[in-house]
Amino acid sequence: MRADGKCSSTWKCWTFPGTEKRDVFLACREAHGNLKASLHQSGQWHVAFDGKKFSSMFEPGQAPERRFMTTVARPPVFANGLTVACRILIPWSAVTRGPTVGRKPVVWLPCPPEGMALYVLVLLSDNLPQPGTWAGRWGGPNVSWVEYENGIPRVRRAAGWGAENVGCICPPSGGSVQVVYQTGPFQAPAPAQLGPQGGLFRGASEEDLLKKGLRALMWGTSQDGALQFIETGVTVSTGAASDAHGTDSRGVP
């Protein structure tokens, strides 16, 4: 998303059309291919660092124990043949610096007002979407969404909750990947909810944590079993501890 010449990170969702498998992949472009979510047709899903780069990504003694940071089985179908595969929460504070996507095609989403976030859903279905509609559109198919209790998102079933369409992928092997979004209140995870602190990537230093426009990317699982990412702006106080590469599956409500 972007506003006033600044933007949050951009994301890529893709499949490989040359195969018969319905594997779906999701990545934050600013991670430079180092980290991605893999939603395999087998139902074994994970968020992991790139296998070819993992051994060289961290300074000695700084790497996580394994490159697979979060693993989860595919959640059950929720409604109307739809599976909520992943949520990406992007609050207003993630708009911190200018775009760096070059000529890559990007669907820009509007920045929400202060205190709010965009809730982007990646939905899988064995069926093609109905012509002229999409999951969550007013009067459209039912799908799980969120309601809020004291600012904390709780998964609920909602019919036609007014989601906006981002796009749809229809792999040659069948089915569809639908991406939609809606705006809602945002509450950052409390420190007690975050996973263990990590180390620095190779070539990075604590001075880099003081640069303007710094953002954090956290990941884990939602209460309904879907993968979840949170991207937000970061304010660092001198002397405060900081997590350089997110959390594990214990870190996101």
Mean pLDDT score across all residues of the chain = 77
At residue 144 the predicted structure's pLDDT band, cuts being 50, 70 and 90, is: very low
Range in 29-33, 61-65, 236-240 with the lowest mean pLDDT: 236-240
Q: At residue 133, does pLDDT exceed 80?
A: no
Residue-wise DSSP of 22-86: --EEEEEGGGTTSEEEEE-TTSEEEEEE-TTTGGGSB-TT-S-S-SEEEEEEPPPP-BTTEEEEE
Read off the pLDDT of residues 152-208 as tens digits, 9 standing for 90 and up.
Answer: 445 454 444 567 888 888 887 788 898 988 888 887 766 555 555 556 788 887 788
pTM as predicted: 0.79
Q: At residue 36, does pLDDT exceed 80?
A: yes
pLDDT of residue 132: 59
pLDDT of residue 193: 55
